[in-house]
């Protein structure tokens, strides 16, 4: 479904990603983990068309995405939920959700998509007329993911979805994501919470200094001594 081949990205003269190769197959939940400044967000942004690679290729269902603007990539079914939520604070919850379903691919299905959002995040149904700025941090993250679901993604890209959330909200959010994945939604998420993201996903990639350091089955990565020492603080 989604293939990233030998992708390199630089910000001006500063290289950030080096020959990164990633694959996400239909129905998978795949975790992208690594420390701060490892290049996780840059990879998500490059897939979404927000950052142009200096070399390499991103393809979706066999189609090269090179040169496509972000809105065209959304139209293909690749939808990103950005780091830091970035809801529209002065707009209501309903307006934020409807905006997510504005693209031509999603617009005819907005009513059904809204019901899917309410099933995933029931609290939002009672907040429809409320300004997004008045929501808690956890509710804003729900809204951001809900807005992404409104676009009817074939693959949902999540950039640091647990950032700034408390343990209870993190657990609830990942349970929802796991349920959506079991219902057939393909998910590729950049995440610093290594233990939870690997526990919930089927496969994972570890970025180190802009390169894929190790990849494989998520349960195997959880047991890998290198991952345990570097990210879980556990020495064998």
Q: In angstroms, rounded to a whole number, what is the distance separating the alpha carbons of residues 93 and 39?
A: 31
Number of structural domains (the chain) is 2
Domain of residue 209, CATH code: 3.40.50.300
Domain boundary among 114, 132, 153: 153
Domain boundary among 153, 179, 204: 153
Query: In terms of domains, do 159 and 62 share one?
Result: yes
At 159 the pLDDT is: 95
Query: In terms of domains, do 68 and 138 share one?
Result: no
Q: How confident is the model at residue 35 (pLDDT cuts 50, 70, 90)?
A: confident
Query: In terms of domains, do 130 and 223 share one?
Result: no
Query: In terms of domains, do 59 and 129 share one?
Result: no
Confidence check: pLDDT of 235 > 60 = no
At 229 the pLDDT is: 80
From residue 188, give the alpha-carbon distance in Å to each of 11, 43, 78.
23, 11, 10
Question: Between these two residues, 234 and 218, which has the higher pLDDT value?
Answer: 218
Average pLDDT, the chain: 93
Question: Between these two residues, 24 and 167, which has the higher pLDDT value?
Answer: 24
Q: In angstroms, rounded to a whole number, what is the distance separating the alpha carbons of residues 204 and 197?
A: 9
Domain boundary among 103, 134, 153: 153
Q: How confident is the model at residue 85 (pLDDT cuts 50, 70, 90)?
A: confident
Query: In terms of domains, do 210 and 93 share one?
Result: no
Residue pair 2/203 in contact by the 8 Å Cβ criterion: no
Question: Between these two residues, 58 and 194, which has the higher pLDDT value?
Answer: 58
Which helix (H) or strand (E) segment is 195 a member of?
helix 194-200
Query: In terms of domains, do 130 and 171 share one?
Result: no
Q: In angstroms, rounded to a whole number, what is the distance separating the alpha carbons of residues 231 and 63?
A: 35
Confidence check: pLDDT of 234 > 60 = no
State the average pLDDT over residues 28-40. 93
233: left (phi over 0), alpha (psi -120 to 50) or beta: left
Q: How confident is the model at residue 236 (pLDDT cuts 50, 70, 90)?
A: very low
pLDDT digits (tens, 9 = 90+) for 147-182: 999 999 999 999 999 888 888 989 899 999 999 999
Q: In angstroms, rounded to a whole number, what is the distance separating the alpha carbons of residues 209 and 100?
A: 33
State the average pLDDT over residues 180-204. 94
- Of 26, 72, 33, 55, which is closest to residue 184 (Cα–Cα)? 26
**Residue 177: CB partners within 8 Å, gap ≥ 6?**
29, 145, 158, 161, 187, 189, 200
Q: What is the 8-class DSSP label of residue 92?
A: B
**Residue 131: CB partners within 8 Å, gap ≥ 6?**
89, 90, 91, 92, 93
Query: In terms of domains, do 94 and 167 share one?
Result: no
At 233 the pLDDT is: 59
Range of the domain at 124: 84-153
State the average pLDDT over residues 81-95. 91
Supply 62's token pair. Answer: 């066999």
């Amino acid at each position: 479904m989604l293939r990233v081949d030998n992708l390199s990205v630089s910000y001006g003269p500063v290289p950030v990603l080096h020959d990164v190769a990633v694959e996400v197959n239909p129905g998978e939940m795949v975790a992208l983990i690594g420390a701060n400044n490892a290049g996780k967000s840059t990879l998500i942004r490059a897939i979404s068309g927000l950052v142009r690679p200096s070399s390499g290729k991103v393809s979706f269902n066999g189609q090269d995405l090179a040169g496509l603007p972000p809105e065209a990539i959304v139209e293909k079914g690749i939808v990103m939920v950005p780091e830091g939520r970035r809801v529209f604070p002065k707009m209501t919850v309903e307006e934020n959700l409807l905006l997510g379903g504005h693209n031509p691919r999603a617009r005819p299905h907005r009513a059904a998509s809204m019901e899917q959002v309410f099933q995933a995040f029931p609290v939002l149904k009672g907040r429809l007329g409320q300004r997004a700025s008045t929501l808690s941090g956890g509710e804003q993250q729900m809204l951001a993911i809900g807005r992404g679901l409104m676009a009817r993604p074939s693959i949902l890209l999540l950039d640091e979805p647990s950032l700034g959330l408390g343990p209870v909200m993190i657990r609830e959010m990942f349970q929802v994501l796991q349920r959506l994945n079991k219902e057939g939604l393909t998910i590729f998420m950049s995440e610093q919470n290594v233990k939870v993201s690997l526990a919930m996903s089927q496969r994972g990639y570890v970025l180190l200094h802009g390169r894929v350091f190790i990849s494989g089955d998520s349960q195997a990565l959880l047991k890998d001594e290198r991952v345990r020492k570097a990210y879980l603080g556990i020495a064998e």
